[in-house]
Structure 1
């Protein structure tokens, strides 16, 4: 294997046949030692976070596969803390797609004059550009098209698939009395087919989940959800 890229929470290795291996790390995003799935810097290292994230990711990708949702997932090795996936090309330098069911985090910080914290939202989808230097700014479909990152037709596909995937995840969590407040996904184009597919991971580090109004930390979420 050849190291292709060192990310904040995963290292990426090249494999044959348009596949890559993702090696999960124990680093999580946050600020000042506090976990924050929306942060664009590594805030802390939590022992076991990589394996915990992979267990959740494997579970959700297999649930999506059973529902014929197209993703980059091929297989996972929990003990090796790694996952083999189809290679995908990002949109521009990378986009993140957030689906929000409650007004918390950066949404509430921006729009708090018009809502109360925790107020229900109707599967609100927003896209941010992966750009640490500019704090991952949000971007509209008009701007994405004008900058040649994503056409409006592709944006519509992205939005529809985000809502579909997030509803499946939300329903799955609800089976354990867990409520999804928001979640961050990533998409790319399958290198072999050019189809828009879900990439990256689906874990506690990408979502805010509450149980009876109490926030559940990522490692606790994995233990609670997969017990």
Structure 2
């Protein structure tokens, strides 16, 4: 697809004008960032893996009736998506204690939570994406109470889907974050899952070994991020498992 006008560039993706009104082209970069972009690197192949994995998850959600912005994958790094009005909140679903939750509450990482917990963070890099309450969200007009109810319901459906898919390939879904956008059909508003779903936005641990298969590998210098993401993709069947190389045989 011919390169179009850049609409927005974030830490991990670039958005370009789409070929039709109401569409965008989402390009996945190889850039890796952590700690609010204080740690940065370029990880070759990361964008390709996240593009393929996000396609896999978005297609799976659509198949169970969860609306998303995903239309189709264009190539190895780009996908065609529906333009949405992004609600300025990160929606986080936690199944086990990890990251900031473990630090805030003094919990051991990996502790199972009594039930999935949904949290909201205000999307502002300059402020470090601070945790906010439903009262903040409604008071500042970022979303209505009905929006919040719908966002929580969407997030929990995504959690059910991702947890089941990951468990089936021997991976624990510790937590994840999504973004949600508004789309309009005349005067009628719908909320849909937007942005991406990938190991960049999830915490994924091997069920048996506890090995981390997500961006914590980069955050904590635990090894190759590409290898971790490739392992997730192979288990899900997104990438073929590498077989033992076969030496060519001459045929007379």
TM-score (norm. length: structure 1): 0.89
* Offset, 1:42: 6.1
Q: Distance in 2 between matches of 1:53 and 1:132?
A: 22
Matched, 1:203 2:198: yes
Structure number with greater Rg is 2
Q: Runs of 5+ in structure 2 lacking a partner?
A: 214-227, 241-252
State the superposition RMSD in angstroms: 1.6
Name the residue aligned to 2:82.
86
1:133-186 Cα deviation digits (max 9, x unpaired): 111101111110000111111101101110111110110111111110011111
Which moves more between the two structures, 39-48 or 15-24? Answer: 39-48
Q: Distance in 1 between matches of 2:150 and 2:116?
A: 15
* Offset, 1:191: 4.9
Secondary structure, aligned partner of 1:210: strand
Name the residue aligned to 1:36.
none
Name the residue aligned to 1:164.
157
Name the residue aligned to 2:33.
29
Q: Runs of 5+ in structure 1 lacking a partner?
A: 32-38
Within 5 Å, which residues of 2 pair with 1:1-227?
1-15=4-18, 16-31=20-35, 39=36, 43-79=40-76, 81-91=77-87, 94-112=88-106, 115-121=107-113, 122-192=115-185, 194-211=189-206, 212=208, 213-216=210-213, 217-226=228-237, 227=240
Equivalenced residue count is: 215
Higher RCO, Cα 8 Å, sep 6+: 1
Q: Which has the higher strand share?
A: 1
CA spacing shift, 1:198–1:40, aligned 2, 3 Å: farther
CA spacing shift, 1:134–1:221, aligned 2, 3 Å: same
